[in-house]
């Protein structure tokens, strides 16, 4: 068990703002988010094009399943069934659900006025929920706390906002991820800079509560056997990531002052094959 897993924290969950996801995302022009920071770290020009509205974030079936999975696992079945329309119409001839590509299903989906999940998607989400429930560490982390809480504060002289998947009053920040294969999750986590994302969460929360709390990732597979794993992110990793984040925020300020957002590939590079 990580040494800091026993770190005694006492977080007042009232620091979290409760608001719909749509309201949170509508304020991205006023507050920097972790996604904006990671976009800039990947490519300043990508960050700027999104700021200008030249690149729109497109909703995909995978993103829909991700949102629904978070709702089902973190907010419970009642909220899940309120926010999403589940299943679909029944074919009176076969007494089985219409397929998600049929005209009957599409017409039904339009009438719902909320995101729609097919029977196959519902089954997938339930399997992932069961996978999380089979992991005692995950269950313990998600036993107490609040989901989808928002914090807004100045960090590095910049208005920032975060929306934490789950905040446990004694354990800290818990982030829920879905993955194709848990075997390769650690590689995917590095590639997607989850350590930078969660160091940003940790630092912004620290501006409000006065300390850096522990950070965990709960990851569950989207395929059989729907394994679930839990990772504690060690303090050194988060400290390095915070320094990287703070350096990137300084570069963002400079980029805005100079109105210069390079791709990062303007200069000649050398490639050396072994």
**Residue 105 resides in a domain:** no
| The predicted structure's pLDDT at residue 4 | 45
pTM of this structure? 0.91
Cα–Cα–Cα angle for 98, 99, 105, nearest 5°? 65
Q: Which residue has the higher pLDDT, 72 or 99?
A: 72
**Residue 134 resides in a domain:** yes
Domain membership of residue 219 as a residue range: 3-55+119-258
CATH code for the domain of 247:
3.90.320.10
**Residue 111 resides in a domain:** no
Report d(CA 117, CA 87) in Å as an integer.
Answer: 6
**Residue 94 resides in a domain:** no
* Three-state secondary structure call for residue 99: coil
**Residue 245 resides in a domain:** yes
**Residue 197 resides in a domain:** yes
Indicate the helix (H) or strand (E) that contains 182.
Answer: none
HSE-up of 250 (CA within 13 Å, CB side)? 6
**Residue 63 resides in a domain:** no
**Residue 77 resides in a domain:** no
**How many structural domains are present in the chain?**
1
Strands 85-86 and 116-117: parallel
| The predicted structure's pLDDT at residue 69 | 97
* Three-state secondary structure call for residue 93: coil
pLDDT more than 90, % of the chain: 82
| The predicted structure's pLDDT at residue 7 | 61
210: left (phi over 0), alpha (psi -120 to 50) or beta: left
Tell me the mean pLDDT in the region 160-168: 98
Residue 2 has pLDDT above 90, yes or no: no
């Amino acid at each position: 068990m990580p040494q800091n897993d026993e770190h005694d924290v006492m977080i007042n969950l009232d620091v979290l703002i409760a608001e719909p996801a749509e309201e949170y995302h509508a304020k991205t022009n006023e507050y920097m988010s972790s996604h904006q920071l990671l976009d800039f770290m990947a490519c300043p020009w990508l960050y700027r094009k999104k700021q200008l509205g030249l690149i729109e974030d497109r909703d995909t079936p995978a993103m829909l399943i991700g949102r629904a999975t978070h709702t089902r696992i973190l907010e419970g079945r009642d909220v899940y069934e309120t926010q999403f329309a589940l299943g679909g119409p029944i074919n009176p001839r076969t007494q089985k659900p219409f397929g998600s590509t049929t005209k009957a299903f599409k017409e039904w989906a339009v009438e719902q006025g909320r995101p729609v999940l097919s029977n196959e998607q519902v089954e997938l989400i339930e399997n992932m929920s069961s996978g999380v429930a089979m992991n005692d560490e995950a269950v313990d982390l998600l036993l107490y706390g609040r989901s989808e809480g928002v914090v807004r504060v100045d960090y590095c002289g910049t208005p920032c906002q975060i929306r934490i998947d789950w905040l446990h009053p004694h354990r800290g920040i818990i982030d829920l991820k879905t993955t194709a294969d848990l075997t390769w999750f650690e590689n995917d986590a590095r590639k997607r800079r989850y350590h930078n994302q969660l160091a940003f969460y940790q630092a912004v929360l620290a501006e409000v509560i006065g300390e850096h709390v522990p950070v965990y990732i709960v990851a569950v597979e989207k395929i059989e056997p729907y394994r679930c794993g839990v990772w504690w992110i060690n303090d050194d990793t988060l400290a390095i990531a915070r320094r990287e984040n703070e350096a990137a925020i300084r570069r963002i300020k400079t980029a805005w002052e100079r109105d210069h957002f390079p791709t990062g590939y303007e200069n000649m590079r050398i490639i050396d094959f072994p």
